[in-house]
Amino acid sequence: MFRHRDNQITLDDLTLPLAFWQLQEPGYVLPNGAIGREYTPDTEHVVIYPVGMMGADLPWTDGDTYLSKVEQYEAAYTAYQAEQPPFVDGATFPRWQKLTDALRSSDLFSKAYSASTSAPGAWSLLLASLNSNSPADDMGRWKDFEFAIAQLRLALGEDDFTAEQVERFNNILAECQFDAAIV
């Protein structure tokens, strides 16, 4: 079974982050407007859209090829994870939920939101990094978060965070065990 949902690819019992999958299969894309796909050989192939599902090619040759390479993907992902440096004091991933809660209850989040109309992509990226339910690609998640904050700060222009707000932001990051800072 092949499933593409919520920025994850599942091949039988193996689940991979979409970002890693795209390194393995750069030619894989969903049809325009689609948000997911499910394929069970000889049984079902549907493409999922925001308003419903639509049947697709059966058999799906690419899907059969992907499913025949599960062991290859699993070995590549294991090697990829082993190459990733620990992000925080030997931890595999920082406490994103604590960060999300701390930011959402602060004026820092409100200030970042005020830039969302002039930088909607950055706002969406910030929310996606905070709301991801997969710690598998923690470094990529941090880079998205950091980039989104930088873009939102640019959009704020003269209304950028004050020195005190930047210090408070960095204190929140430290409290959440992030070994990084926003400058």
pLDDT tens, residue by residue, 79-94:
877 665 444 444 445 5
Judge contact between 20 and 10, C-beta under 8 A. Answer: no
- pTM of the model as a whole: 0.48
Task: Tell me: pLDDT of 46 over 90.
Answer: yes
- Give the full edge-to-edge strand order of the sheet including 2-5: 14-17, 8-11, 2-5, 36-40, 44-49, 52-55
Q: Is residue 88 part of a domain?
A: no
Judge contact between 23 and 72, C-beta under 8 A. Answer: no
Q: Is residue 34 part of a domain?
A: yes
Task: Tell me: pLDDT of 40 over 50.
Answer: yes
Which pair of tokens denotes residue 26? 């750069």
DSSP run (H or E) holding 105: none
Which one of 32, 58, 83 terminates a domain? Answer: 83
List the beta bridge partners of residue 8.
Answer: 5, 17
Residues 72 and 105 in one domain: no
User: 118: which residues sit within 8 A by CB, 6+ positions away?
Assistant: 155
Domains identified in the chain, total number: 2
Structural domain containing residue 13: 2-83
